Structures are given as C-alpha cells and as structure tokens.
Amino acid sequence: MKFEIYLTTILIILCSACNGPKSPESLPKAKNSEKIYTLVEMSHADISQLDKEKTVVLLQGGILEEHGPHLPVWSDGYISMQATRDVAQIIADSTDLNVLIFPIVPLGTAGFNGVGGKDIYPGTYAVTFSVLRAIFMNLATELGEQGFSKIMVIHIHGTQEHSLAIDQACEYFDDTYDGFMVNLFSLAGINWYQDDKFKSEEEISEDPWAVHADMFETSLTLYLVPDLVKDRHKEQEPLSYESWEDILQLSSESDWQGYVGSPRLASQELGKKIMHAWSSALGSIAIRIIKGEDYSVMSKWSDGHEPGKHSREIDDQHEKWLRSKGYLYTR
Ligand SMILES: [Zn+2]
C-alpha cells in the first residue's frame, strides 16, 4: 500500500515534469474560487498560461491618508481590498471569465486634508495627480502590450481629482489597445448610497452625508479591522454641518482633527451593510461592462473636475529641481 502511494507520487512528479507547461488547473488559486488568481503567487510561465481573452485583470489601490484620530491611515486601502475580493467573486460567479488580482498600489492623490487647505498633514502620503496617472498608464501599457484586454481598477478614495487621474489612464488604454480599462469607483459614483437607507432621522441630523472618517467610513473600518479602531471613535465629538461650505470651514480650523460628521454613531453591523452595498454596486457595473454595455456614456465621479493646485505646485517644484541638476529627460 505504502509502495503504491510512493509510486503514484513519483509518477505524478514525473508526469508534471514531462508534460511541459502547467495546465491552468494547476495554477495557484485563491481559496474561495478556482477562477481567481493572485498575481504575486504566480510565475511568468503561470501567467502565460492564462487565456487573456477570458481573463479580467483587477488592479486595486489604496491611499495613505489621515482618517481622524480614531481610524488607521490605511482605511481606504482596507475598503478597496475587500471590494476587490468581493468583485472578483462576483465576476467569477456570474461569468465564465478568470480573474487575475494584482497586489494593491498603496498610493493615491489628493487627501481629504487638502479640502480645508491643509495639504501637508501627518498620516497623508499622497503622490501628485500626474504621478498617479503615470502609475496606471504604465500598468495599462504593460498589460496592453502583453495582450490583456479586460482591466478593471478598484481604488476607493473620494476626491474627484484622484478619480480623474485613473479615468485618464483608462482612456489612454482604450485609445491605444483593444478591449477596455475602467475605473469602477468612478463609474459607480455615490449614486448607490442613500443616507435614509442606512441612517435614522436623528443620525442624519448629526452626520448628514457620507464624507470622511465619519459614521459611514468609521463603520466600514470597524467592520473590516475592528482591532485597529477599538472604541476610539466613541470619543470623537460630532462635527455636524449643513452645507459643503460648512465642511470647508470645519476642515480649515487650526485644531481640526481630520474628520467630519459623527464617528461615534458608527457600528460594525452598519459597516457590513454598507460594504455589501458598495461591493454589489461595483460588481454590478463590472458585470454590465463585461456583458458589453457602453461605459463611455456613463457618468463618472470625476466629470467636470481638474487636477488640483497642490499637485501642480509639487510637480513644478520637482521639475525645477530636476532641471537645475540636468536630470530631466531630453524628449
Ligand atoms: Zn477614506
């Protein structure tokens, strides 16, 4: 019996060695789905085995950004990572496509702290608009040149400038290669979110919308990484508002603590509900696009926006230094 097992093992090893490239069935897979592949675990031979026409690439991103005294600076990253896992599962369950998940890009542009004019703030480590766009244009080029034709970006961070950088990289892919590259967050926007679906009347008066490190985002983070929040959100005083002007005013105060709204109203149960609703919204846009819906006519979160002043100032500062040293490319 033992000998039989030993012999079978040897045969399996020999067969896998003499059969040439591994079959797609033998590639590394996420635990929950045989059609979901994790790029960092694969060799180039594994990746070459994928049928590119039948593979959706998911690029995920998170910004390092202050989220008040009660939330980790990787809050948006945790939300993007969960949304990516959920969307991968939705695609694997609803289509005959494979999903290839890239590791998360830990960079984004335009932290919320800039809204009130605090461009530099502990916990926020942003790149400029042009750098974020270049990162995703570079990935678009690599993927397009290698024959991938279905690319979806999940990079959850609410400033429109941030979405615009990724939207422009997607536009570059569409103009240059066959297939599509889309920014799911920008296409889903916030239309799926309705306060009265998630909050009572009293809660709405204390925490009117979904903005930053507030009831909404604190609930999500509490749901995803409770040990990193503990009960710190309960100590934050509500910073309510009635208009966008009020938010600008609050966030420009010298002692502003990096959040608006009312984190103390957050709960894990609410976070679970919101995460499910958000992933479903992103997943349903993804499926509509895979099935051929024309996304060029859909509205985008970045519509009507342009790169911010801080990004342009930092780019100028860098370019000036590079020029002074003779390090700029001659194009
Ligand atoms: Zn956030």
Residues 114-130 pLDDT 10s: 999 999 999 999 999 99
The single residue listed with the structure tokens 């995920």 is 60
CA of 150 to the centre of ligand 1 (A): 27
Look at residues 305, 272, 308 and name the one whose alpha carbon lies nearest to residue 113: 308
CA of 31 to the centre of ligand 1 (A): 28
Q: Check residue 11 and give its pLDDT.
A: 34
Q: Check residue 5 and give its pLDDT.
A: 38
CA of 158 to the centre of ligand 1 (A): 7
CA of 27 to the centre of ligand 1 (A): 35
CA of 151 to the centre of ligand 1 (A): 24
Q: What is the DSSP letter of 157?
A: -
The answer to whether the CB of 12 falls within 8 A of the CB of 67 is: no
Q: Where are the alpha helices (DSSP H) in the chain?
A: 2-18, 44-49, 75-94, 129-145, 160-176, 184-188, 195-198, 201-206, 215-224, 226-229, 244-252, 268-290, 309-325
pLDDT per residue as tens digits for the range 147-175: 999 999 999 999 999 999 999 999 999 99
Q: Check residue 54 and give its pLDDT.
A: 97
CA of 240 to the centre of ligand 1 (A): 18
Sign of CA dihedral 10, 13, 17, 21: positive
The answer to whether the CB of 302 falls within 8 A of the CB of 167 is: yes
CATH of 25-191+275-303, one of 3.40.50.10310, 3.30.70.330, 3.90.420.10, 3.40.50.80: 3.40.50.10310
Q: Check residue 38 and give its pLDDT.
A: 97
pLDDT at 236 over 50: yes
Candidate from 97-101, 196-200, 255-259, 280-284 with smallest mean pLDDT: 196-200
CA of 221 to the centre of ligand 1 (A): 9
Q: Domain coordinates of the chain in residue numbers?
A: 25-191+275-303
Q: Check residue 9 and give its pLDDT.
A: 36
CA of 186 to the centre of ligand 1 (A): 15
The answer to whether the CB of 136 falls within 8 A of the CB of 123 is: no
CA of 259 to the centre of ligand 1 (A): 10
Q: Check residue 18 and give its pLDDT.
A: 35
pTM of the model: 0.89
**Phi, psi values for residue 181, rounded to 5°:** -135, 125
